[in-house]
């Protein structure tokens, strides 16, 4: 089964990378962009597991390795539900 | 309107970051992970535009700045369709 983990800076946490990219987009003339947050995406191929179990496993992996729980939040998306 | 751009290494392009993370997950005992690709995620707040126009704009931005078209592919997801 395939899953996606999206890791983003928590609301309220400064995101200098996102701000820099937003600034560059404005410099290129893309003024329609009013906010941008930059994060990470992990596309994970997993052995077949019941969705609940897969979600629990991915949550554990995110907390331990993929994200920094102090400043980042994550969202798990299973492609085969 | 809100949109998401997911940037990933193209199929067939080496992904050393993904491989390193996969190795770390295995070392932590997460053997269920059979493949992992690491990419970027941009959550973008845009001025209201027709979906077709927004998609075109985001595609242009991805090609020019958010991704490296030689080695990365991207996917645009509009949250308000």
Q: Is B45's CB within 8 Å of A33's CB?
A: yes
Give this complex's ipTM. 0.91
Measured distance CA(B66)–CA(B58) in Å, rounded: 9
Over residues A57-79, the pLDDT tens digits come to 999 999 999 999 999 999 999 98
Domain boundaries, chain A: 2-78
Over residues B26-78, the pLDDT tens digits come to 999 999 999 999 999 999 999 999 999 999 999 999 999 999 999 999 999 99
Q: Please state which of the four CATH numbers 3.40.50.150, 3.30.1280.10, 2.170.140.10, 3.40.50.300 is assigned to the domain occupying B2-78.
A: 3.30.1280.10
Nearest to A65 among B24, B31, B49 (CB): B24
Measured distance CA(A31)–CA(B57) in Å, rounded: 11
Q: Is B35's CB within 8 Å of A45's CB?
A: yes
* Nearest residue of chain B to residue A35 (CA atoms): B45
């Amino acid at each position: 089964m395939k899953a996606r983990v999206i890791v983003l800076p928590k609301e309220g946490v400064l995101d200098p990378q996102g701000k820099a990219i937003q600034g560059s987009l404005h410099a290129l003339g893309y003024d329609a962009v009013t906010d941008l947050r930059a994060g990470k995406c992990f596309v994970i191929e997993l052995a077949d597991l019941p969705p609940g179990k897969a979600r629990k496993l991915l949550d554990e992996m995110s907390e331990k390795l993929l994200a920094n729980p102090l400043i980042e939040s994550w969202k798990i998306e299973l492609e085969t539900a």
